């Protein structure tokens, strides 16, 4: 008995010593405390931070002079949109690219498409994507990484250009007045969370049906009934999508359209095959084609498949497109170094290093690898300012936050563009043949939970 007690004390002491080797000991804590000098400047900063935000105190006063708002080339667009309290930037951006095309082609005074119409089908299709994904993985354990990811992400209002392409080509477009916004479309969180909660419940029921050996046809019928519940939840929040409507172009004769007929007559782009998806991700090999699993909106649609290129080559493509009066889907890590009031994205906006007394030395590759930076918001790239050698100095995007920033736009320095730009979608005619050849590669499949990839919102 004494030996057992002694052994227990020995093991406890050993574990305690091991814990102390990696924990903060009293000696280590004293050493840490001594490194803080509590100088007069530290006291002043601490007092200031007691009643002010870090960004307010980190503002770089030397960078507050009026900045140049002239651009060498700018795509014409009329009217600023507002996604309000929703994650639909990807949808607003895709539609802003298309409306700029229609405004320029038909010399319109303005044009806006119904985001609510496409968003209804986006949510219905994503619900189906989740439920079918649950069926496809039903024989895997709940702790399987894909199953776990699906249940963590049953529904979102974020997205990418592939969603714009698949949804519009399947369901068409309607003018904004035909299916206007509702409170729920402008404030998506509660509706999304309730539908997501119901989808998780449905997911468990589908897994149980598969485990009990239900026939495929019976499971598909069960899924269809579940989607009927989702459809009703969407309809009472967003309104039911129109099937026919009457509309006239300028002073022309009013004509009846289906949403698909309207899209084909006035736009008709092959959004899947006429565009190339580009990425600047220095954490992965350039000149390779990649695909993100489950990074789509429609089950039988397309994952995000892109070519990874150096930033300078992406700039050349963007400049060629803007010169030809064609805007682009663009996404970035918008929250970094943003001066929202002025609408300026500039790495010199805030001096966090002087305020905090340390440096922040990670480069773009390291920020991606550590989840410190990723694409978070989509906007419409529509202007560039060039120097005498044709090199970019700054860029401008049309945003979807209403009349905030610079007249509803954001202006970014070229240095900021290098550090925080990630995705660009350009028409093929602006993409060099050697880059298009890369699309013939078999894409390298990356998992849905890859650190680089979240939906733009």
Is 399 a catalytic site residue?
Answer: yes
Strand-strand pairing, 421-427 and 444-446: unpaired
Is 153 a catalytic site residue?
Answer: no
- The DSSP code sequence of 355-413 is HHTS-----HHHHHHTTS----EEEEEEEEEE-TTS-EEEEEEE-SBSS-TBTTEEEEE
The pair of structure tokens assigned to 165 is 């392409």
How far CA 4 is from CA of 9, 11, 24, 144, 346, in Å, comes to 9, 10, 30, 42, 66
Catalytic residue among 89, 153, 280, 409: 89
Look at the block and give the residue holding tokens 């936050």: 401
Say how far apart CA 302 and CA 446 lie, in whole Å: 14
How far CA 17 is from CA of 11, 22, 25, 28, in Å, comes to 10, 9, 10, 14
Is 409 a catalytic site residue?
Answer: no
Strand-strand pairing, 421-427 and 377-386: unpaired
Catalytic residue among 153, 377, 409, 457: 377
Catalytic residue among 63, 96, 128, 399: 399
Look at the block and give the residue holding tokens 């805007």: 327
Q: Residues with catalytic annotation?
A: 89, 377, 399
């Amino acid at each position: 008995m004494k030996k057992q007690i002694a052994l227990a004390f020995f093991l406890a002491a050993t574990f305690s010593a091991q814990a102390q080797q990696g924990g903060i000991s009293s000696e280590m804590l004293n050493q840490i405390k001594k490194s803080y000098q509590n100088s007069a400047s530290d006291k002043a900063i601490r007092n200031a931070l007691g009643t002010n935000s870090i960004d307010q105190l980190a503002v770089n006063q030397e960078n507050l002079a009026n900045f140049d708002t002239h651009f060498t080339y700018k795509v014409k667009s009329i009217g600023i949109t507002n996604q309000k309290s929703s994650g639909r930037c990807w949808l607003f951006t895709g539609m802003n690219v298309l409306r700029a095309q229609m405004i320029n082609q038909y010399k319109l005074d303005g044009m806006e498409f119904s985001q609510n119409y496409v968003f209804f089908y986006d949510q219905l299709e994503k619900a189906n994507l989740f439920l079918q994904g649950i069926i496809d993985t039903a024989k895997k354990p709940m702790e399987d990484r894909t199953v776990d990811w699906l249940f963590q992400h049953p529904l979102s209002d974020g997205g990418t250009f592939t969603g714009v392409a698949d949804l519009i080509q399947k369901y068409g477009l309607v003018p904004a007045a035909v299916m206007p916004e509702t409170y729920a479309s402008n404030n998506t969180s509660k509706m999304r969370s309730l539908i997501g909660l119901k989808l998780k419940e449905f997911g468990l029921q589908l897994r149980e049906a598969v485990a009990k050996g239900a026939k495929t046809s019976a499971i598909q019928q069960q899924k269809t009934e579940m989607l009927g519940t989702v459809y009703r939840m969407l309809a009472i929040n967003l309104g039911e999508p129109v099937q026919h409507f009457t509309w006239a172009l300028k002073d022309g004769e009013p004509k009846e359209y289906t949403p698909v007929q309207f899209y084909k007559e006035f736009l008709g782009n092959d959004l899947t095959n006429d565009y190339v998806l580009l990425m600047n991700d220095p954490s992965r090999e350039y000149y390779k084609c990649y695909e993100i699993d489950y990074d789509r909106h429609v089950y039988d649609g397309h994952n995000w498949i892109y070519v990874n290129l150096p930033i300078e080559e992406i700039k050349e493509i963007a400049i060629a497109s803007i010169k030809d009066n064609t805007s682009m889907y663009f996404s970035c890590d918008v929250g970094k170094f943003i001066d929202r009031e002025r609408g300026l994205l500039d790495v010199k906006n805030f001096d966090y290093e002087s305020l905090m007394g340390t440096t922040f030395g990670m480069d773009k590759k390291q920020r991606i690898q550590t989840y410190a930076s990723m694409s978070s918001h989509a906007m419409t790239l529509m202007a560039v300012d060039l120097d005498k050698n044709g090199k970019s100095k700054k860029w401008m995007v049309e945003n979807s936050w209403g009349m905030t920033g610079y007249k509803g736009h954001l202006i970014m320095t070229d240095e900021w563009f290098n550090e925080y730009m990630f995705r660009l979608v350009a028409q093929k005619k602006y993409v060099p043949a050697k880059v298009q050849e890369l699309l013939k590669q078999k894409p390298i499949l990356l998992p849905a939970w890859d650190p680089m990839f979240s939906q733009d919102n």
